[in-house]
């Protein structure tokens, strides 16, 4: 078992605090959303957090739209300004794939829903063709060419060859050296994560021909971090006191 993330360099970032308090954040396609300790949902508009209706424990935004899960593990998608209940149960969900969604449930089972299913959710009666992946992960996040996850032991895995019509990918997991408690893949394929000590890491060397990358770099961010998300050159960080930071 890996106890630390082995990295090849340190990267200094310029971080600025953003008003508000959140426990989880997600950024994609120029949008930023998050939830606080009361499961209130917020979206960032012009530098101001605007509360959305409902209550979620995890929220995500990306090419597949705006999705979330509540404290009962029920799944919702935002459709025309209203939350639509989607069949299935997940504790964590990610919309960063190419118009497909994925996530992990309370038993650490991993699921994904391809583009046709995800984009076809328009009402509570819409079918939700979730596909079960092998293995067990507590956190799962997808980008344009691959998906990354961490298991209950904080081991890191990548799933290659994911596509909008084949979100299950290669069906073989590749273990990546290191240890993280959560991991996020951005819309552009960048990969960031946080380890058990609250340190933030970025995967270097990711390309279409080598989606697993070449090594980890530690981001030099003061304090203890608990959640990160990356979009359009900005790294969004939630620290363990709930404070929100943006780094570049």
CA distance 131 to 165: 11
- pLDDT by residue (tens digit) across 44-75? 999 999 999 999 999 999 999 999 999 999 99
Answer whether 131's CB lies under 8 Å from 125's CB.
no
pLDDT-flagged residues of the chain (< 70): 1-8
Cβ count within 10 A of residue 116: 12
pLDDT at 12: 84
State pTM to two decimals: 0.95
pLDDT at 1: 42
- Picking from 43, 142, 40, the residue whose alpha carbon sits closest to that of residue 100 is 142
pLDDT at 101: 98
pLDDT at 9: 73
DSSP summary character for residue 145: S
- pLDDT by residue (tens digit) across 176-204? 999 999 999 999 999 999 999 999 999 99
DSSP characters for 58-70? EEEEETTEEEEE-
DSSP characters for 171-202? S-EEEESS--SEEEE-TTS-EEEE-TTS-EEE
């Amino acid at each position: 078992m890996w106890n630390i993330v082995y990295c090849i360099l340190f990267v200094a970032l310029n971080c600025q605090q953003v008003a508000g308090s959140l426990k989880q954040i997600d950024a994609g396609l120029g949008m930023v959303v998050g939830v606080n300790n009361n499961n209130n949902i917020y979206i960032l508009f012009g530098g101001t957090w605007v509360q959305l209706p409902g209550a979620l424990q995890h929220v995500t935004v990306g090419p597949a739209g705006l999705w979330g899960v509540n404290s009962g593990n029920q799944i919702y998608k935002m459709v025309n300004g209203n939350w639509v209940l989607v069949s299935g149960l997940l504790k964590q969900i990610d919309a960063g794939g190419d118009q497909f969604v994925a996530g992990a449930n309370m038993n650490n089972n991993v699921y994904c829903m391809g583009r046709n299913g995800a984009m076809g959710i328009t009402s509570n009666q819409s079918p939700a063709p979730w596909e079960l992946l092998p293995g067990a992960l507590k956190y799962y996040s997808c980008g344009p060419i691959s998906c990354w996850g961490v298991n209950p032991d904080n081991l890191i895995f990548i799933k290659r060859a994911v596509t909008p019509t084949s979100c299950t990918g290669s069906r073989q997991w590749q273990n990546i050296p290191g240890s993280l408690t959560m991991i996020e893949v951005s819309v552009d394929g960048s990969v960031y994560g946080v380890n058990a000590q609250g340190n933030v890491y970025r995967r270097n060397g990711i390309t279409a021909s080598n989606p697993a990358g070449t090594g980890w770099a530690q981001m030099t961010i003061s304090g203890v971090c608990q959640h990160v998300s990356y979009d359009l050159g900005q790294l969004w960080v939630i620290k363990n006191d709930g404070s929100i930071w943006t780094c570049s």
